[in-house]
Structure 1
Amino acid sequence: MKAIIRQAYGPADVLGLADVDEPVPGDDEVLLRVRAAGVDPGVWHVLTGLPYLMRLGTGLRGPRTPWLGTDVAGEVRAVGAGVTAYKPGDRVFGTCGAAYAEYARARADRLAPIPANLSYEQAAAVPTSGMTALRALRDAGRVRRGQRVLVIGAGGGVGTFAVQLAKAFGAHVTGVCGGAKAELVRSIGADDVVDYTREDFADGDRPRYDLILDAAGLRPLSHLRRALTPRGTFVIVGGEGGGRWLAGLDRQLRAALLGPFTRQRPRVVFAFPREADLRTLAELAGDGRIAPVVSGTYPLERVPEAIRELEKGHARGKLVITL
């Protein structure tokens, strides 16, 4: 089968298309014919080996595995001896360890059925970004009906899900994005949109927010706190800065350290795979309360190009690999 592999950490240039053996599912796994795979910042971190702390789990001097790609959607081709939830022919989505390939094996408890109204491309856009937004709002943010919610990075992968989920939970939602994405953010349900190139959401002219979800990763924590109610919650998703050792983790660590010293509630979120969350997202998508935003698709051999586009930081919603 064809698969994208790499032998070293580095930029997208280290990736190549190769012929490799088809995987064999274990007892608790299924074999998928991959139809689509998502592209998200986590892929870039695994590709580059940044932050360095991550290499304690992925390999110190080089990657322990040549594979890449986490979010997957496809058709079940075979199941392990211990799998009873799925059978060949089922359409499923979720996470695995090698999604950028024609076939992939995935743990059955990290998958969920694809709703009938979603394509494979749409389903592949959901897992990591959707679970991150869901946990940020529901678990960390404890969002409630009638609250004022600010989503920073509202036009991106996590942000487009966060806007829709916050509306589904009954909140009044303001999205922060660049002007080019403003109409998109309105179209997915935002009650108000702030163009960060023209306005400052924390300038004091707007009512304060009960909950802020920051998926853009650029602003100081003090800036977020100025826009928050005295006992409001701000949730940090991803981030910039921190150098090679803490790349993407700097603000999360500072938010965690700040917690004991303020009445406001700083929270951080990491999207570890969980079947229950996938099924919740599938139900919401099946009911039409959320709809994945896919702005671009790429064939398998163009995975490096998709990752380079992701690095630019301007993608609307999600980028997806199609097979």
Structure 2
Amino acid sequence: MVTDDTAPAGRTVVVTDSTAMLPTEVAARHGIVVVPLQVVIGAEVYDEGAEGATSDRVAAALREFLPVSTSRPSPATFLAAYDAAAAAGAESVLSIHLSGEMSGTFEAAQLAARDASVAVTCVDSREVGVATGYAALSAARVLAAGGSADAAAAAARERAERSSSFFYVDTLEYLRRGGRVGAASALLGGALAVKPLLTLEDGRVSTLEKVRTAGRALGRLADLAVEAAGSEAIDLCVSHLASPDRAAALVEALSTRLADNLEGREVWSGELGAVLGAHVGPGMVALCVAPRLPSD
């Protein structure tokens, strides 16, 4: 059975997908179930994760001009996750996923929820990457504190809505191949040799600014993070694909500039997940600023 807005009280399990970029130990600590998306490299299909499609594997394939595509989890995969939660004692499930404008993952979750043996609340984060992960964590914290499934779903939506995601790519070509930006925009960017800064707007990739060099782009990313944080307590994540030096420079700069906002919390940093990496290409650097909720 499925419900988009309500779920019964009782033990609720949070489910998300692998694009949420939650470290394995963090998901386990909060009892969050992670359903993997798939990456197709040539004729081989891999689940996203350390034992399958990794960032390094995707970056290498893109550099070698191998065909790379991605695939949502099947409804049957989600149904298995929901029924497993029910078998383990869950009375309801809260399923939180990346933007339905960017992937069929949310739709697959909704389809599976119709046949699940427990009530399933499906939440479209309207975000990608760790912003979805932070939303799932906020929901799990509400539940751990004794809150209802409805309250947890509301927290997930609020956390995602308040989060800001910005990213720099060396080229728009990979986003064009995946249909995430138009061919005209990609061609124009290449012709002018501009370095685009992108964001998520209403669940879709949107061009934010264009600069002439990678150095200026990274400096502007830092400024955007500071502007987005304002005076709020935040969580911050810097991710990259095959660009560790750029990411490290951003982490160092923002750890200082946003020290008050971070309140002693470390900046999360690491390689972008394989699925998202397949759409942006090597050299990409992203950051997510996620204001914390009172329940966090």
Taking structure 2 as the reference length, the TM-score comes to: 0.29
> Which structure: greater helix fraction?
2
